[in-house]
């Protein structure tokens, strides 16, 4: 591992550090080639413009690699009981699980769920 990569990985906050600051979308897949992972990435890329003010961080757990958080894949898989198959989980700012699916979340489902959260509604006033 290069030193730059190690520094970049170390700089990522852990899920615990994001609590009360960020909502987290965990997207887990067994490999980069997973078609459901590709679909979730496509949905998120198209939705990104509408998600800027929703304090959402995407954390990918692909095989034994993590992108977007400083946690290990094993610790995230254990804490959120992630199976070996594709799983998407929306975590609120309070650290609680709000949505879980074995299929990619449509942008509308993410939007509606986030916009209904008490901390989101309080922030819109």
- What does the pLDDT look like over 38-89, one tens digit per residue? 999 999 998 875 556 788 999 999 999 999 999 999 999 999 999 999 999 9
Q: Which band of pLDDT confidence, cut at 50, 70 and 90, is reported for residue 1?
A: very low
SS3 (DSSP) at 8: helix
CA separation for the pair 72, 44 (Å, rounded): 23
SS3 (DSSP) at 3: helix
Domains observed in the chain: 9-120 (3.40.30.10)
- What does the pLDDT look like over 87-104, one tens digit per residue? 999 999 999 999 999 999
């Amino acid at each position: 591992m290069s030193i730059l990569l190690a520094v970049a990985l170390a700089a990522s906050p852990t899920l615990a550090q994001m609590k009360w600051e960020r909502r987290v979308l965990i997207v887990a897949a067994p490999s980069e080639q997973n078609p459901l992972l590709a679909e979730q990435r496509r949905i998120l890329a198209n939705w990104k413009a509408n998600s800027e003010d929703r304090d959402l961080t995407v954390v990918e757990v692909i095989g034994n690699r993590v992108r977007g958080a400083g946690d290990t894949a094993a610790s995230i898989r254990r804490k959120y009981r992630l199976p070996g198959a594709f799983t998407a989980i929306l975590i609120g700012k309070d650290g609680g699980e709000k949505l879980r699916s074995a299929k990619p979340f449509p942008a509308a489902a993410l939007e509606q769920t986030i916009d209904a959260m008490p901390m989101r509604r309080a922030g819109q006033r």
